[in-house]
Structure 1
């Protein structure tokens, strides 16, 4: 029955007790499959099945119990929740995640994404919902869904986030509450946050940080492996490195001693192939190669004679590689046994003078040029363009490009990115990265080499040609002109040329702004030809202000001329008179243009932030504020500036008091703007139709701001308290504290506490309401109004509730939802 339910779910690979029913494997086949896993092949459901069948189940790793406990807790929540597993390359994170699913398959519909499918969040969400709802037509006990995303964000940007939203939307469509838990397994080189309640961390330094109980289990399992595979276990590098009773660094060095100084010319094909495999597995962990591609690379020419096996052809390198079968697709692959081995081999190759740039070029020419498959494109993108995120700041370039640039120079980097741009001729990513490399690698302390900026412009325009009217792609061209201008104005050059560069940058940023205005959010797109983006691109507006502010960075003559023209002084004299009418027209409108962008950022940074836990970089507000001061006048000081109060722990909103808020709203209001209706509410007259005010507030928000704010977190501006309306700053409270004590489990008692401070809790007014999924209603002053839940995971079922009532720019928000007991 389980097979009948899951056979139509094209995007999912479902594991269930009957998955391998009827499959017969002979002893030799079982031995080979499990030996490959211990060598380092990626885990598959079959590995867990055979391990149990052989009486050698895998060790339940450190972190296993926490993940399992979180999942079992979330299964009562009848909504979409997420558990994160962050694991360093080679630490066994994927195996741990699949082990949890394997052990929970009787109580959950356990599934992961199928191999080689189009990663469309909407399709995946529909399949997950169908998987759960089809239980209505079976006699099986209703079970929640448990979905594993194994490093999915590396395959498609922000897949975990967009999929979670798609699942919420699907649940609302069927008007039902079903527990769906996402186990988001993410490979990360570095960990920064370690205090997240729903996150488990798995470190690669296994032998140094192993719990005693885990080590004992590994010791016992190791003895069983040695007994069953007595002639092979020394080559089980994947297992031995994770085992932890050895020094993994010393072990890796020993097994990699087959790397000897390579021949620079006429290197054997096996040496070339192994260098490629090691390089790719280091800089794009988790990548693998098709076995038949590797075999074709080894064969210089077709032969009618029997070819040696792949292992025989690879010679001394064969022990460091695994050729394995993916039983989901029945396809054979090759990979390096462990990321630590790949890292060590690449280090040795570099120490012996082998050019990593040449190895990368060899990979592009021999594995990508003839068959530019989606998986190879993604691997190449990871190697050449994927920038590491370190504490919220991204590296300028990918790790590989940084290493090659430092060791082999700029020319090799540009050669590689040009080659990738040619091979993947329809992709804008590679020419965009190449343009960035050209303008960012210029030494600003030296005189300008115009060729660098010309090349940057050429490749930026090529990226735009491949993906027209995409504002994020267009931003690269604008950045080229901006950096050219900044470089030029470091020295005393011709003022007219500086103004020409400034005009080019401003024009490019304006075109980027227009493209951003036309882009739609994912949820709004019906026409496949429309550019989509989950977030609004404000970089054009910011870049415009950065170029405008450049006229004031020094007292050089060129800047004085720029100042005169940009503020339309002496426009008919000297330099200004030489400018074309088009440029002078733009300059005359400069003050208004700057003010418009300042007002945008003032609202954008006050009403929203990237998400609940992160703030926007302070330099955005600094540019907007300083530019307004230079061109328009002293900006209003209604709000505290975050960058001026670095020593003060700021709350979730910049608004300090209700008076400040009302002053800000008054300045921003227009006819039929959401600010206007907020003022009506804050200055409420008894007898006004609150439901009508709230409805118009929401409609005005959708008209004015929805396109710009999209998926950003809307900051709560004020709350309903026993003293009336108050800002969060006045209450000394943050949204995260408001949610503490929320009763997420319908069966949970109300014995939990609310916010941290009793006096704050007493100031808040608890509002009565009701959930009629997916709608949340509030009963306020003899009026029923619709409110948004601050935490959708608290909307579990229909019923009477109570909550704290707050407002963001869109309208009313329900915090700390608790179900009321009937009777």
Structure 2
């Protein structure tokens, strides 16, 4: 198997990509110990500990590589935790300890998307033959007489039929033959609708079967028409309790659509799910799935896929009804009122309600920088609307100045909390690894808006005798802006979001524009000035020339640079990919290959008579499970000399 630490599995919704990944785990169960990480927000230490237990399985001579399926989440942080644990345990194995399959659910696959393993929804000729042979065997092995019907092996049949939509529609024909009108009481249909909705938007989600039985007093009888569309099993981590899900995500999606066509709007089903199935004793079990359903969103989207579908199909008021019900069911989950606040100010421009729910989120988690930022965003967006009215309605100036003041204060508070989150990160979840720079950039955006309307504000302020108030707001801005703009410029010049994601274009533009407007100067691009940058240039210029006497002692200078980075910059860059700023290359620009050695997941190279440890991106370190000689490209990031494109001789 190719030695790669991360394989990104991409698939189209409805193509059964997650099921294919599950099938992969099942097929490889004899070669690997396989596991699925259902909740990627768990503490890294808990995940790593569980994986190592699985790797050893209590046997000192039968270690086996763990194949870990992660459905989203901060894999970069998880990899760092694995590397730290491997180093601490001094594991020197002839095989990898863990291979991470990062399965990302996206709505489409761009042709120019970075390389990865893309799961196809079409079988190869060999796969088709194997599935056909297996189907013949199943038909011989099982019959209706022994109570097992192969035609109801929907997960298998969907793959065998090349993920045929026609097969899925036939399998879900019960929704067309049963009276599915919402006005006709049918608790079995209600429950199936909830399970379809949950499984179509959160693949892999399950409900406890005991939970279902309490909802349906006669579970088996009530569910007879729909039971063949579900599967029950005992997963790890359920405490031996059986759970229930739809037989396949495509069936869940078709069921949801068929029910929608029959009058079961997604918002109606979501509210039934929240009101009737998220009972007090089951809320904790369903909490992760419900947050994925209502809160989690793809990077470029404003809200979760379900909320966006409800908005497009039923309107904004239906979204608000669902989110209000979620707040009732999860009164101590701050992300529910936060999402409600964001919907109010982004979709309805109801800033009073937006502020109310942002403040509720802050009350639940007063030390959360993201909730503090949301309150600031409410003031910022309200300011954007009011400042546009200023020329035609001078009376709004007081409100404009008050909103700007409150926005600045909220974002300053968010910055303080973001700093504390980084200082107190130990023992927190993976998400705490991310440095929240949103309050800093939002502060600059407010300043940009004030500068854009500077002429109008000053004119109205003079006419209404409010110029002193405006001056009190404006006078400290220049110094405040310089620090924040320099920070954003430094952060985005030296790094990018991990795993090929990109920072929004407006972030760096806003920082540089604001700095230029308030200082009449331009921020430097690329490698700036400062002690760290000077040390980095010195290392780059002298790396290949350290043969003269007296020696330059580059090893010590690398350690000094590393120490300086850890003290001043590391907490901001922890979750980000450091960009190479300088390269070791010949005069014609050809990259130089450097010899080195791998020992215990670390890479070393010799400069003169000194051996120097080089930094390796955590995304690559898990590939260094085998000790031996290597070659690599040497590049210099703000952290110091770094090994890239590491290759073993074989």
Counterparts of 1:117 and 1:488 in 2: how far apart (Å)?
A: 41
The C-alpha deviation readout for 1:216-273, integer Å capped at 9, x for no partner, is 2222222222233343333333333322179523651563254356444462322322
Residue 59 of structure 1: aligned partner: none
**Residue 520 of structure 1 contacts residue 531 of structure 1 at CA under 8 Å; is this kept in 2?**
no
Residue 511 of structure 1: aligned partner: 413
Q: CA deviation at 1:781?
A: 4.2
Q: For 1:465-484, list aligned pairs within 5 A.
A: 465-484=363-382
**Residue 453 of structure 1 contacts residue 480 of structure 1 at CA under 8 Å; is this kept in 2?**
yes
- Are positions 1:347 and 2:260 aligned together? no
Secondary structure in 2 matching 1:789 = coil
Secondary structure in 2 matching 1:373 = helix
Secondary structure in 2 matching 1:778 = strand
- Are positions 1:587 and 2:478 aligned together? no
Q: For 1:51-90, list aligned pairs within 5 A.
A: 72-74=1-3, 81-88=5-12
Residue 604 of structure 2: aligned partner: 777
Please, which of 478, 501, 509 is the counterpart of residue 622 of structure 1? 509
Q: CA deviation at 1:805?
A: 3.1
Residue 457 of structure 1: aligned partner: 355
**Residue 674 of structure 1 contacts residue 698 of structure 1 at CA under 8 Å; is this kept in 2?**
no
- Are positions 1:177 and 2:6 aligned together? no
Q: CA deviation at 1:98?
A: 5.2
Please, which of 640, 643, 647 is the counterpart of residue 814 of structure 1? 643
**Residue 82 of structure 1 contacts residue 181 of structure 1 at CA under 8 Å; is this kept in 2?**
no
Q: CA deviation at 1:635?
A: 0.6
Q: CA deviation at 1:772?
A: 4.7
Q: 1:131 to 1:236 in 2, by over 3 A?
A: closer
Please, which of 443, 459, 473 is the counterpart of residue 544 of structure 1? 443
Counterparts of 2:501 and 2:27 in 1: how far apart (Å)?
A: 36
Secondary structure in 2 matching 1:537 = coil
Gaps of 5+ in 1: 1-71, 75-79, 300-306, 444-451, 563-569, 640-654, 656-660, 724-729, 732-759
Counterparts of 1:408 and 1:99 in 2: how far apart (Å)?
A: 36
Please, which of 197, 200, 216 is the counterpart of residue 298 of structure 1? 216
Q: For 1:520-539, list aligned pairs within 5 A.
A: 520=422, 525=426, 533-539=432-438
Counterparts of 2:295 and 2:244 in 1: how far apart (Å)?
A: 24
CA RMSD of aligned residues (A): 3.5
Whose radius of gyration is greater, 1 or 2?
1
Bigger shift: 224-233 or 411-420?
224-233
Residue 196 of structure 2: aligned partner: 278
Counterparts of 2:10 and 2:137 in 1: how far apart (Å)?
A: 29
Residue 536 of structure 2: aligned partner: 678
- TM-score, structure 1 as length reference: 0.69
- Are positions 1:607 and 2:522 aligned together? no
- Are positions 1:335 and 2:335 aligned together? no
Secondary structure in 1 matching 2:263 = coil
Higher relative contact order (CA 8 A, sep 6+): 2
Residue 111 of structure 1: aligned partner: 34
Counterparts of 1:99 and 1:354 in 2: how far apart (Å)?
A: 32
Residue 288 of structure 1: aligned partner: 206
Gaps of 5+ in 2: none
Q: CA deviation at 1:591?
A: 0.7
Secondary structure in 2 matching 1:627 = helix
Bigger shift: 374-383 or 185-194?
185-194
- TM-score, structure 2 as length reference: 0.86
Residue 344 of structure 2: aligned partner: 438
Q: Which structure: greater helix fraction?
A: 2
Residue 124 of structure 2: aligned partner: 211
The C-alpha deviation readout for 1:259-305, integer Å capped at 9, x for no partner, is 35644446232232232222222222322222232222223xxxxxx
The C-alpha deviation readout for 1:370-412, integer Å capped at 9, x for no partner, is 22433311222122112234xxx2x111222222223333333
Secondary structure in 1 matching 2:440 = helix
Q: For 1:561-600, list aligned pairs within 5 A.
A: 574-578=465-469, 585-600=472-487
Counterparts of 1:245 and 1:818 in 2: how far apart (Å)?
A: 38
Q: 1:591 to 1:255 in 2, by over 3 A?
A: closer
Q: 1:331 to 1:634 in 2, by over 3 A?
A: same
Residue 321 of structure 1: aligned partner: 230
Q: CA deviation at 1:499?
A: 1.3
Q: 1:813 to 1:578 in 2, by over 3 A?
A: closer
